[in-house]
Structure 1
């Protein structure tokens, strides 16, 4: 397929020659053939001429759940990748949150095959331990060879410190990336919300910040001893930012991410017991939000993730204590981030992370494969039900102010707008 983008403003902070320039871009058979001020459309070419069209390198989300296999009623892989593409993401890292969990090479191959040939590329994680039970290491090397980009027992702490030590040591043999969820389950207990004024007022069992910070401190001590590559997903407290900043100053190979909703909302949103705001880790305080945003700006926090977790209505329309954790995040990601950070910083955030997961870093350049996200960064609106494309509808962003509309993507020799 041939595609001609007309008058597209290129947002590419790392390329001074093209950054914020308005150009026509001709794409033939998935490859950028020409970038120029004006290009006449050849025959048999799809013309893309959209209002206030901006483009950037395709976006990466480092943490997404769907439902398949096990919970197809929440979201299938095919439809989830459609949602990701319409939300601007050309690449997603798929959490090991399926049922059964992906703890063998054949499981990883299955997930890759289900995502093959779509406009959004899918890169699966494998579990760190067999069945995700935290007892014995899974087949890490075999899963790596099958295409797993990291190893993670989804939203579960690595309770056994010796197991994390062995995992970090073993994974160094094949450059494996180990995830460790930052929450001590013993300290969390049966908590369902941030431990503070709001949880006390509402009578909800609290999850202290200590549950996260103690786990991170322990993991960083182990990493300092073993070496290796550690990623700490979805941190949520101000002290966590400090702990990771200090570890980086020591030269430890650690990265971390934060969920977008922890940059937008605080535990004050729980006042109506709306279960869409029940997530793990929980929403924290204004002080934590401020520290997390500062951590992104100064580079302590490496990646921002949608932490997209579809949950069907039956598991959300129950008492707050019994509701499943999770919120949608793909559809609202760009609008929420652009509202907070502005265009250039948002694009820098959304295009980071490829090398950490062993993925190819692409560029917008003649002769290169087209991996492009299309959007209008100026549209302002409130996020509504009509903006949700996912099968499940559990979004905590309903009513939140957004800035920016995504048109779609050009990737994998596909166009979806």
Structure 2
């Protein structure tokens, strides 16, 4: 049964299986706003089953997956493929559809058909849409039937060839920088286009303090937007890159300590309303090479809550954290929120917010191992999930 029967302190549990753990907490199931499962096309990096295994270990009951597959998710059949492959597992997998055909940025995809098939939203993934006229058309077209478009705030021309955050550290390391300006310019453009189209927009992976200033002003002006931050940008800064470890090469890049602190404050101010894993598996060939040639991306589903607990300790309340990883992601996508009430369906995550542990390679459930969290101290751990009538208990893992 997947229904919450009764809530209380002294329940009749004679015929029930009991799960116990120290400092056990429960919340509505966590939902990841953005992960890359690479299925179809790059199953050597990740497939839907291995991605789900990583999500289960991380405590997620739902994951929205990027359309960056090969071929991209740009048709009704592609959306149906994802749902079909994930239907037997206790984690809901919700595909985004590509805004443009083949993610080429040249022609709009059949967004309405994909929406009818269950596409949870629309995105260009890690391929920013440079064509402003086409983006304006997409914003006008989708507004009558789907949640806001999910856009990566990056001006490709300004960021071209960049490897890490542009600043003192990029000069010291001799690596070409990715300026915050590349994010600012994109956000300004997209806000103007969305206002013109009389619709909202969602910004994926805000990383720069200067961008937050733009968003703050936009909020005062009544512009319609939401934004998220990737968990890696809360835990790491460009100071961590001195070893040239390619596992730390991410997009958006890990920026300065000042940017990091501003992002955390923005979580409390609700300028940023969700935290995403931005789980992006890369195989060893794409990471074990010179920094300039390494692919962008980190895996983060398995270490997600521990990284949040460690980086936000004493700065953001756990009540707010649950909003950021469970309630708000669903709200952004117009999905029903699984509130914990008698008679409701049960979609739950069990966790210990105070558990201190070190992330190790053995914890990785993904097919890829490009985690910058290996060997890092974490605080907070998922202990299990209940979804689709199935309990998965992780307390001993």
TM-score normalised per structure 1? 0.90
- Secondary structure of the structure 2 residue equivalent to 1:48: coil
Within-5 A mapping of 1:13-412: 29-43=1-15, 45-339=16-310, 340=312, 341-351=316-326, 352-412=328-388
SS of equivalent to 2:354: strand
Deviation at 1:140, TM superposition (A): 0.7
Shift of 1:253: 1.9
Secondary structure of the residue that 1:144 maps to in structure 2?
Answer: helix
Quick one: distance in 1 between partners of 2:206 and 2:231?
11
Q: Determine the C-alpha separation between the residues in 1 that align with 2:219 and 2:89.
A: 37
8 Å CA contact 1:144, 1:176 repeated in 2: no
Taking structure 1 as reference, are residues 141 and 176 closer, same or farther at Cα in structure 2, changes over 3 Å only?
A: farther
Residue 136 (structure 1) shift: 0.7
Task: Note the residue ranges of structure 2 that are not aligned, 5 or more in a row.
Answer: none
Task: Classify the secondary structure of the residue corresponding to 1:37.
Answer: coil
Q: State the Cα distance separating 1:387 from its structure 2 match.
A: 2.4
The 1-side partners of 2:57 and 2:161 are apart by: 37
Partner-residue secondary structure (3-state), 1:380: strand
Distance 1:103 1:72 in 2: 18
SS class of match (1:360): coil
Higher relative contact order (CA 8 A, sep 6+): 2
Structure 1 pair 332–342 and aligned structure 2 pair: CA distance change class (3 A): farther
1:117 offset after TM fit, Å? 3.0
TM-score, normalising length: structure 2: 0.95
Shift, 1:346, TM fit: 2.0
1:19 aligned residue: none
The aligned length equals: 388
Q: Structure 1, residues 113-143: CA drift from partner, whole Å, max 9, x if none?
A: 1111321111100001010000111111111
Contact 2:50 2:365 in 1 (8 A): no
Task: Tell me the residue number matched to 1:3.
Answer: none
Shift of 1:342: 4.6
Structure 1, gaps ≥5 residues long: 1-28
Q: Displacement, 1:244?
A: 1.4
- 8 A contact 1:227–1:252 mirrored in 2: no
CA distance in 2, matches of 1:371, 1:284: 35
